[in-house]
Chain A
Amino acid sequence: MLKREIKEILHASRPHGWVLEPEAKNILRSYGIDVPRFTWAATLEEALHFVREHGFPVVAKVVSPQILHKSDAGGVITGIDSDALLQATFQKFGQMDAFAGMLVEEMLPGLELMAGAKVDYQFGPVILFGMGGTEVEIYKDTVLRMAPLEERDIPSMIGNLKGHPLLEGYRGSKPINVAALTRTLLAFSGLVMDMNECIESIDLNPVLCSPETCVVADARIMLNRAQKNGHAG
């Protein structure tokens, strides 16, 4: 069952067909999935307030219902380490189509993985998991499983990736926290099962995995057509 606040977010997102990143992250958080600390700043002051509290460096991303592919539109700036740069970024984003604020969040280290979901016509909700980052469609190092996932699925999903040595500690690096990754994937699977009537696909990319934590740094929830037209509910 979907919680009321999630239903409200989905309802409000219908006109543009996808869920804005800060709202997508709120949905993830409500399922117990870790996301970076962030603020959705409507004003420069709010952005500055966030860095006063949490420090630099931060990532800034444009929030706009017109901009689905933020990186392609120049709407993602990483490694911001000064008030001046934060201000310049805010001004730049403010010029963009349908500007609806700026997301400012802490920068976290970690191996870039990805998790995704799609509602397949023949097989219903499926989960994709693999090596993440901007090159996912080039390396295509991913595995697919029919949802819901069970805990025993996770080791074979990791083992089926070509890049699995990177998760297990490669050339002196420490292995990632597999327990945290497992928790994240199972929670995500639960979310997908709850939302499968509303969604077309979801990208969580990157999912940053370190020896300590597993944090979803970006999330894109695409609603299905029925949802866009307001028929499903």
Chain B
Amino acid sequence: MDFRALFQPSTMAVIGVSLQKDQHPANVIFRKNHLRYPVKVFAVNPKGGSLQGETVFKNISDIPEKVDLAVIAARADHVPDILSECIACGTGGAAVISGGFAEIGRIDLQETVVSMAREADFPFIGPNCLGIYSPSFLDSFFLPSERMIRPDQGNVAVVSQSGGILVDLMLKFKEESIGISLGVSIGNKAMIREIDLLQYLEKDPGTKVIAFYVEGFSKGEGRDFVLAAARCSKPVIVIKSGKSPGGSRAVSSHTASLAGDYEVFSQVLAQMGVVEARDELELISFCESLSCYQKPIDGKMGIITGSGGHGAMAVDVCSAHGLRVPDLTIQDQESIREGLSTSIKAIASLKNPIDLTGSAVDEDFVSAARSLSTMPEIDCVLMLLLPYLPGITSDLGARLSGIYQKEGKALIAYVPHVEKYRMLIEGFELNGVPVSHSIDAAVLMAEALRRCQPC
């Protein structure tokens, strides 16, 4: 099934606009797309009339152009008729925003819609969802533009069963400068489910990482999903809600008791190399680091810092996450020492973590990072940068990124996120190196690289 009509439409109909209530979700959707996104937007309401000076079409079939995407925000009872009109006039697909289906017990209504769509090979998202945010194409979320925080265009695709979680994640992605390729709220996922989007996104050249917020799978759906995710050439991240067991069920075997729903979910994901994010911090960190690096590591960390305390903290966090910080040989230490400036040669500690001391300058960090990036004992470099040290300049981010680009060894930076240090941070980010705002999150970024392979 071709989803391009859904995610990269040239034309879009918003069905169910109100002629009286300007705050109606359909009106919000019309307004925020009309003349603001490249997509050409048409409003539809059976009564006709005009909205913002534009014709309101009585029926989707009255629109003089072929419509790629129909965004349906009419009452649930009207959806089957609207869908059959969309199908009849060759519309490419739909996002059914309307609620009032399986989530309130109207399974019959949902099944009607699904069987119509299946028969016509007509893809639709939802119902009961926010729909699609496709940067530089469209935004079907019924949230006024001025209320939303939109991340930049990037390579992380997010698929969420919950619209609210998706909007919230987009806000946090923006904060961390993570760009997205597509955001889809799939709601009741009556027809298009996680696995369908996984298959589409695997082929989407704009997407490098695929993240899912999952509430649950139907019978056997989880199995199909993880098998597809295991075959997927791009990293797949999943966060699950509803981890705690729902009440105490009487179980008659040890296995049934030990293999609870979440235990199975979590361990099967790990078995298949799907990265499970256990909380929001993990999810954000994993998305950021996997958007930069898609190659798994074993987790042999080389740590560089200008503060012994930061090095020691990072070692603790690494070890709590099962990442190793191997000692460097005397030989390796000496080769690092050779590259350091005279003033710190005698005082720097080079065992790993490498503490270049507060007297280090840009050149020392660059030199040490270059050395670690060529050592086979290390497969990921953790750079803990404290911009208040006098020898560090704003150029360092971009310079260190250059080492990654040359040597290809994963580099993760920690820089305190305050406005004053913005240029240093952007020097990393704009050059494809992830930067975290805490040591813990930096270590999580490394953990993501270790976890994106079968255990």
Which A residues form the contact surface with B (CB < 8 A)?
18, 68, 114, 116-118, 120-124, 126, 128, 130, 136-137, 140, 142-146, 153, 156, 160, 200-203, 205, 220, 222
Contacts and interface: CB of A to CB of B under 8 A. Distances in A.
Contacts of B258: 116, 128, 130, 136-137, 140, 142
Nearest to A142: B258
A46 B255 CA distance: 33
Interface stretch (B35-43, B175-183, B265-273): B265-273
B216 A122 contact: yes
The 5 closest A-B pairs by CB, nearest first: A116-B255, A122-B222, A144-B267, A122-B217, A201-B253
A122 B259 contact: no
Contacts of B267: 143-145
23 contacts: A116-B255, A118-B255, A118-B259, A120-B259, A120-B264, A121-B219, A123-B264, A124-B220, A124-B223, A126-B259, A136-B258, A142-B258, A144-B267, A144-B268, A145-B267, A146-B272, A156-B455, A200-B256, A201-B252, A201-B255, A201-B256, A203-B255, A220-B253
Interface of B: 216-223, 226, 251-259, 261, 263-265, 267-268, 271-272, 455
A122, A143, A160 — most chain B CB neighbours (10 Å): A122
Contacts of A137: 254, 257-258
Given A124-B220, A136-B258, A146-B223, 13 more contacts: A114-B254, A116-B253, A116-B255, A116-B259, A120-B222, A120-B261, A122-B219, A122-B223, A123-B226, A143-B267, A145-B267, A200-B253, A203-B253
Given A116-B259, A143-B267, A122 B221 contact: yes
A124, A146, A153 — most chain B CB neighbours (10 Å): A146
Contact of A146 (B216, B219, B226): B226
Contact of A117 (B216, B217, B255): B255
Contacts of A124: 220, 223
Contacts of A114: 254
Given A122-B223, A160-B455, A222 B268 contact: no
Contacts of B455: 156, 160
B268 A145 contact: yes
B56 to A, nearest CB: 44
Q: Chain A interface mostly helix, strand, loop or mixed?
A: strand
Q: Chain B interface mostly helix, strand, loop or mixed?
A: helix
A123 B265 contact: yes
B261 A122 contact: yes
A118 B271 CA distance: 16
Contact of B268 (A68, A123, A200): A123
B219 A205 contact: no
Nearest to A126: B264
Nearest to B214: A122
A122 B218 CA distance: 6
A202 B219 CA distance: 20
B219, B221, B268 — most chain A CB neighbours (10 Å): B268
B252 A123 contact: no
Nearest to A145: B271
A141 B267 CA distance: 13
Contacts of A130: 258
A134 B397 CA distance: 57
A197 B251 CA distance: 19
A231 B255 CA distance: 24
Contacts of A126: 259, 264, 268
Nearest to B221: A122
B251, B257, B261 — most chain A CB neighbours (10 Å): B257
A222 B259 contact: no
Contact of B261 (A18, A68, A116, A121): A121
Nearest to B252: A222
